Amino acid sequence: MSLSLKGRSLLTLLDFSPQEIEFLLKLSKEVKNENKKGLVFRRFEGKTLALLFEKRSTRTRCAFETAFGEEGGHPVFLSTADIQLGAKESIEDTARVLGRMFSAIQYRGFKQETAEALAKYSNVPVYNGLTDLYHPTQALADFMTLEESFGSVKGRKLCFVGDGRNNVARSLMVISAKLGTHFTVITPDELNPDDVLRKKCADLAEKSGAVITVTPDINAVKGADAVYTDVWISMGEEDKREERVSLLTPYQVNQKLMDLTGSKNSIFLHCLPAVKGEEVTADVIDGAQSKAWDQAENRKHTIKAVMLATLTKL
């Protein structure tokens, strides 16, 4: 299967069809195999990538820089503490200028609207490296990891336990609804994902056969193939610490919760960075059921696949 995504931006997986997402996952697998065989290509030679960061990053930055650089491309890291974006100069004008100099732009920051404006005014592909609303490249790596563990993701049960309204939970809901994976968000009522997104995902799920559930009951992990958690306090929400710790302490992923799945073959996932002792205990994330480190590696392969598909002729 080959289909053209050349010139496309990845702002949210809502913009991609199930076939397009499956194509990206297949390409990611090929890219990983090439990497394991030690094959080296120059598929980004002569291309440039702007890496705009308003928030911190380890995995996303390193994945973009290494995936692009090792194929002969030139990535340029631009912290928004140093450039004009939205400060002296409008986002539209920065986008216009970057579009004249770069082949593509990665943006990590607060507003989804900033990613959208960059795409609209730059005329080059823009990749959302995390906003307050979505983290689409993460969800691709997560589903690649699920495929590695279970083969097909269709009909599998994925449970997200924790802050159900955050960017990672929202992106997992979208990709699950598109690909037919049953997705349960286990979160206190105060942190439920918003109704607009739930409605969109319910409509998508009807077509794919996925069952999307939101519940405060941790016993809903029963039968889960994978249990996923993320930090209780996302970047930019530091003032919510006290409230989140109080709401989410009963939702910590520990061995007792993993055992509630009823299977030793269930896996544990985490996008990282993790605060061990808060959302997950060290024995779980460092234990035999954890795939968190494969997930982190898969960020690079999936991100390379997205850039290959959108910047080159495959």
Q: Which residues contribute to the site for ligand NVA (CB under 6 A)?
A: 130, 166-168, 230-231, 234-235, 271
Q: Which of 230, 244, 295, 301 is catalytic?
A: 230
Q: Which of 106, 138, 289, 295 is catalytic?
A: 138
Task: Let me know if 61 is a catalytic residue.
Answer: no
Q: Which stretch of DSSP H or E encloses residue 291?
A: none
Query: Residue 108 Cβ, how far from ligand CP at the closest point, in Å?
Result: 7
Query: Residue 9 Cβ, how far from ligand NVA at the closest point, in Å?
Result: 20
Q: Which of 59, 135, 182, 270 is catalytic?
A: 135
Q: Which residues bind ligand CP (CB under 6 A)?
A: 57-60, 130, 138, 271-273
Give the separation between CA 79 and CA 53, rounded to whole angstroms: 5
CB nearer to ligand CP: pick between 138 and 281: 138
CB nearer to ligand CP: pick between 138 and 310: 138
Q: Which stretch of DSSP H or E encloses residue 104?
A: strand 104-108
Query: Residue 293 Cβ, how far from ligand NVA at the closest point, in Å?
Result: 15
CB nearer to ligand NVA: pick between 130 and 248: 130
Cα 146 to Cα 42, 157, 289, 292: the distances in Å are: 29, 10, 13, 11
Task: Let me know if 271 is a catalytic residue.
Answer: yes
Give the separation between CA 127 and CA 293, rounded to whole angstroms: 23
Q: Put residue 259 in one of left, alpha, beta given phi > 0 → left and psi -120 to 50 → alpha.
A: alpha
Task: Let me know if 286 is a catalytic residue.
Answer: no
Which does residue 58 bind out of ligand NVA, ligand CP, none, counting CB within 5 to 8 angstroms by kind? ligand CP
Give the separation between CA 95 and CA 116, rounded to whole angstroms: 10
Task: Let me know if 198 is a catalytic residue.
Answer: no
Task: Let me know if 84 is a catalytic residue.
Answer: no
Give the residue carrying structure tokens 């970057």: 98
Query: Residue 272 Cβ, how far from ligand NVA at the closest point, in Å?
Result: 7
**Cβ 112 vs Cβ 131: under 8 Å:** yes
Task: Let me know if 252 is a catalytic residue.
Answer: no
Q: Which of 8, 43, 271, 301 is catalytic?
A: 271
**Both ends of the chain: CA-CA distance in Å?**
11
Query: Residue 11 Cβ, how far from ligand NVA at the closest point, in Å?
Result: 16
Q: From 275, 309, 305, select the one nearest 292 (Cα to Cα).
A: 275
Q: Which residues are catalytic?
A: 108, 135, 138, 230, 271, 299
